[in-house]
Every structure is written in structure tokens, then in C-alpha cells.
Homo-oligomer: A and B are copies of this chain.
Amino acid sequence: MTLRDRERQQTNTRAQTFAPAQRTPGAFLTRLAALDSQATSLKLRQRQRILLTPAQDDLIFALQSGVVSTRIAMATSEAGLITLYFPGDVIAAGAVPNFSERALVAATPAEALRYKSKAMLRLLATDPDLLAAYDRQRDRQASRAGLHAAILATLDGPQRLAAFLIEMALELGVAAGATIAIELPLSRTEIAQHLALNADTLSRLMSRFKADGLISQKSRHQIALRNWRAIADMCPVSAALMAIERNRPSPLN
């Protein structure tokens, strides 16, 4: 079964829609948007997917709003990995590992600018500040990717889920009294892939978190963190996560 088939299956039972994440993009994107450039402006519907063939290695997407994921699938077996991008992030197709299939999928409605890498490089060469912001942005994303790799490699299930909740809270959470409300842009199955866990296992973990009073759940995609401190304490990388997010504007100030 190809990635495309799997996507198609999922599409029809996803009625709920999300507002684009409204966190403001960082220094690079604001500067980029100010330039009169030859970018193509994209509006992505939720679940819309862009296949990244090897021929498209020279495309660069700059995410303005919404949440977008890249997915890679191995030839054999169903296993895949999901990486998440948030407003302000840059997605260079050439930086996504070249598996048998790789695609970019909008987890929420999203807006992005698409460049050919040549055009982007021309822009960067003309504006030293833009270049510096671009470089820092890529450093930050590499740092996040490395952190996520460390999470998958060294932490067990509950710790991984805690890390995910913290990350989502920092990116998408809105304070609601003593709790933090989060509208999850991914299905359980997708979260499981993002965390390199089995969907069944993830479901068990979420049930346990609910039973322990760490989170509560309004609907399938709406959850609330009831005990931030406890969640942060159970995950050894929470400090590193918060350090990465501290540099960027966040809904939780």
C-alpha cells in the first residue's frame, strides 16, 4: 500500500477543521515576506499533500501559518516517520531523506511560500541580514530535529508522550485557567508514527495519562493538560524543549 493510498483512506472521515496556527513566524519569514520576491504563494487545505519526488529536491517551502508534516515511508513494511513544521519553519525538499516515498502533508490549513532553491539563494545573496536569519532558522530546526531524534532513541513510551505534549503545548497551546488547551492537529495513528510508537501502545498511554489526571479530553482532537509540572517532570528533555521554544514567539507567553 502506498502512502497516497493511506492518505486517501484517511481523508473522508476527517470532518473537523482547524484554524491555522496563529503564532507569528520568526525573524526570517517576516524579513522574507517584506521582499518583493518571485515566490509562489500556496494555500493548503487540511490534509492536502504534495508529493516530493527526487526531481523536486530544489524546492524550498517557507511556512507562514498552520502546521505541516513531512512523511517518509520505507519500501518494505508500513513503517514511516512524521516530522512536524510550524509557522516560521523552512522546509527544504533536499533536506528530507530520499526514501521510496516522501510527501508533505498539511496537518491543518496552512499558508506557505514556495521557492526554487536557486531563486532563494539569489535572494539570500542580496541581503546579508536575510542570510543570517535563514542560517539561524536552519540551525534551530536542525537542533529541534536532533532533539527529536534523541527523544525517539533514548526515552521510553510515557516520556515520549510527555515530550510530545510539552512540544504541542508550546507550539499550539492556549492557557485556559489552570489548564492548557491543545487542539491536536494529528490523529492518534499519526502521533504514534511521530513518536515511533505503536498506535495501540499510544492509546494505552493516553488512557493512563487520563487516569492519572495528567490530561483530560473534550473530544478526539481536543485535550487539556491538567498538570503541567507533573508532565514536565516526567520527561528528561523538557528543559531542552523549552529552551528551543524560548527563542520564538509562543502562544504561551
- Report chain B residues within 8 Å CB of A80: 154
A-side interface mostly: helix
Residues of A within 8 A of B (CB): 57, 72, 74-77, 79-81, 83, 92, 94-100, 117, 121-122, 124-125, 128, 131-132, 135-136, 138-140, 142-150, 152-154, 196, 236-237, 239-240, 243-244
Q: Are A143 and B75 in contact (CB under 8 A)?
A: no
CB pair B236 A77 closer than 8 Å: yes
Is B154's CB under 8 angstroms from A74's CB? yes
Asked if B143 and A98 make an inter-chain contact with CB atoms under 8 angstroms apart, the answer reads: yes
Instruction: Kindly state the separation between the CA atoms of A124 and B134 in the bound complex, as whole angstroms.
Output: 12
Chain B residue with Cβ nearest A118 = B132
Chain B residues whose CB sits within 8 angstroms of the CB of A100 once the complex forms: 239
- Which residues of B sit under 8 angstroms from A81, Cβ to Cβ? 146, 149-150, 153-154
Chain B residues positioned under 8 Å from A74 (CB to CB): 150, 154, 236-237
In the assembled complex, 11 residue pairs joining A and B whose CB atoms fall closer than 8 Å, in A order, are A74-B154, A81-B149, A94-B136, A95-B146, A97-B146, A98-B143, A125-B125, A131-B131, A138-B142, A145-B146, A148-B149
CB neighbours (8 Å) of A117 from chain B are 135
Q: How far is the CB of A122 from chain B (nearest CB, A)?
A: 8
Contact of A95 among B143, B148, B153, B239 (CB under 8 A): B143
Q: Which residue among A81, A96, A97 has the maximum number of chain B CB atoms within 10 Å of its CB?
A: A97
Instruction: Report the separation of the CA atoms of residues A77 and B144 in the bound assembly, to the nearest whole angstrom.
Output: 21
Cα A32 to Cα B138 in complex, Å, equals 20
What are the 10 A-B residue pairs with the smallest beta carbon separation, nearest first?
A: A153-B196, A95-B142, A94-B139, A79-B154, A149-B149, A97-B147, A97-B146, A95-B139, A152-B153, A76-B236
The interface residues of chain B lying within 8 Å CB-to-CB of A92 are 139, 142
Q: Quick check: A96 and B146 within 8 Å, CB to CB?
A: yes
Compute how far the CA of A174 lies from the CA of B239 in the bound complex, rounded to whole angstroms. 43
Contact B240 A98 (CB under 8 A): yes
